[in-house]
Amino acid sequence: MTDRVVLAYSGGLDTSVGIGWIAEATGAEVVAVAVDVGQGGEDLEVIRRRALDCGAVEAYVADARDEFAEEYCMPALQANGLYLDRYPLVSALSRPVIVKHLVRAARQFGATTVAHGCTGKGNDQVRFEVGITSLAPDLTCLAPVRDLALTRDKAIEFAERKNLPIATTKHNPFSIDQNVWGRAVETGYLEDIWNGPTKDVYSYTDDPTFPPVADELVLTFEAGVPVAIDGVAVTPLQAIQEMNRRAGAQGVGRIDIVEDRLVGIKSREVYEAPGAIALIAAHQELENVTVEREQARFKRGVEQRWTELVYDGQWFSPLKRSLDVFIADTQRYVSGEVRLMLHGGRATVTGRRSEASLYDFNLATYDTGDSFDQSAAKGFIEIYGLSSKLAAARDVKFGNAPDLGQAGGIGTVEGA
């Protein structure tokens, strides 16, 4: 039986050429796999037909938009997933759902190899290959651009020689990846990090410099997941799509960042994630109301590690699964409503309420009705500061008291 290779297929030039390129280089039959995660563009049936016309022996297509929103975007929202505190894991989140369908197709069509279109210096090659071997250790991985020298010039020449049904002359200076959670733009003149993004970089967001009238809305959450907008029930996918529309109209979610790639280089990336950024802002504030202090403090460290694991292609790793359990437990009481003001590129929380709130008005108020026992504070402070007080007394005893320096500056402490 002829070997089969499953190829992650986008319908563009590189992966369309990749079908025949892989077949000629390896002698294997190619099965094309296209997964819709809300990237827009062409219909899946059109993509399926093109894959077959380009030489694929089978074409597997999947509408995974709801799956992506529910099983990948919502866990990221509950984790407040922001790499380097800014990037909401746009591309990183879509790779594991695509990987799952690639492995499923490999099993269905008897393939032994899974191929993808990534280069040799990006993050996605790691996300695809680590994800694939984490789900199916017996499968091997192939990257035609990296492993079979499929350059863009060669791809254009191959497409023209084989008369493939794909445009070969359109040039876009940017490399773009997008899905319902956001949009990532890189390369071209953006590689000079002094150059500012021009308006043609953006698609999901309008210019926040000249915003329309402010847009106020109320988000309803249940266990950390948005379930309604202005009282109208929504699915996770609908929540993201509606927030993309409304926050995008206000220019929310534009991110220009130099980030640390997994492979060790720094890369300039421009992102648009209006829905993700607005939803995370609302979710974080509802957590401030409903999550206990020590649990919240610990969760911030978990969030950072969870985000790094997802960015680094470890979605299916044992540690990621363990952190998922903790994060899910923290969301037990993250239910309620958040009022959000969208305007001029900002998503600002202006109100919050929850039946599970830990905010007690009578304890917080400084006016009549204050139920906080202020007389307890003195003893609390004495006990709380006791260990530091004892250590300070010891420092004085051994001549190591802090040097208060001149004009308010504190100098270094001399050793014993």
pLDDT string in tens for the chain (416-residue length): 689 999 999 988 889 999 999 999 999 999 999 999 999 888 999 999 999 999 999 999 999 999 999 999 999 999 999 999 999 999 999 999 999 999 999 999 999 999 998 888 889 999 999 999 999 999 999 999 888 888 878 888 988 898 888 776 556 678 889 999 999 999 889 999 999 999 999 999 999 999 999 999 999 999 999 999 999 999 999 999 999 999 999 999 999 999 999 989 999 999 999 999 999 999 999 999 999 999 999 999 999 999 999 999 999 999 999 999 999 999 999 999 999 999 999 999 999 999 999 998 887 778 777 788 888 889 999 999 999 999 999 999 999 998 888 765 555 555 54
Let me know if 138 is a catalytic residue: no
Q: Say whether 38 counts as a known binding-site residue.
A: no
- Which H/E stretch holds residue 71? none
In what order do the strands lie in the sheet containing 346-353? Answer: 232-233, 225-229, 215-222, 336-343, 346-353
Catalytically annotated residue among 4, 91, 124, 352: 124
For the question of residue 66 being annotated catalytic, the response is no
Catalytic residue among 50, 65, 95, 268: 95
Q: Is position 175 annotated in a ligand binding site?
A: yes
Annotated binding residue at 204? no
Q: 134 labelled as ligand-binding?
A: no
The separation between CA 387 and the C-alpha centre of its own chain, rounded to angstroms, equals 42
CA–CA distance, 353 with 289 (Å, rounded to integer): 8
Of 3.30.230.10, 3.10.20.440, 3.40.50.1220, 3.40.50.620, the CATH number of 4-171 is 3.40.50.620
What is the maximum span of the chain, computed from C-alpha positions, in angstroms?
87
| HSE-up of residue 217 (Cα within 13 Å, Cβ side) | 24
156/158 Cα distance (integer angstroms): 5
Residue 175: active-site member: yes
**Ordered DSSP codes for 217-278:** EEEEEETTEEEEETTEE--HHHHHHHHHHHHHHTTTTEEEEEEE-TTS-EEEEEEE-HHHHH
Query: Is the Cβ–Cβ distance between 259 and 91 less than 8 Å?
Result: no
pLDDT at residue 416 in the model: 47
Catalytic residue among 14, 36, 206, 312: 14
Phi-psi region of 211 (alpha: psi -120 to 50; beta: other; left: phi over 0): beta
- Annotated ligand binding at 10? The verdict is yes
Say which CATH topology domain 176-291+333-359 has: Argininosuccinate synthetase, chain A, domain 2 (3.90.1260)
Residue 3 among known ligand-binding residues? no
16 is in an annotated binding site: yes
Q: Is 11 marked as binding a ligand?
A: yes
256 carries an active-site annotation: no
Catalytic residue, from 49, 53, 104, 175: name it.
175
- 15 is known to lie in a ligand binding site: yes
12 in a known ligand binding site: yes
- 365 marked among binding-site residues: no
**Residues of each domain in the chain carrying CATH 3.90.1260.10:** 176-291+333-359
Looking at the chain, the domain(s) classified CATH 3.40.50.620 span: 4-171
Is 123 marked within a binding site? yes
pTM, two decimals, is 0.91
For 69, which DSSP code?
Answer: I
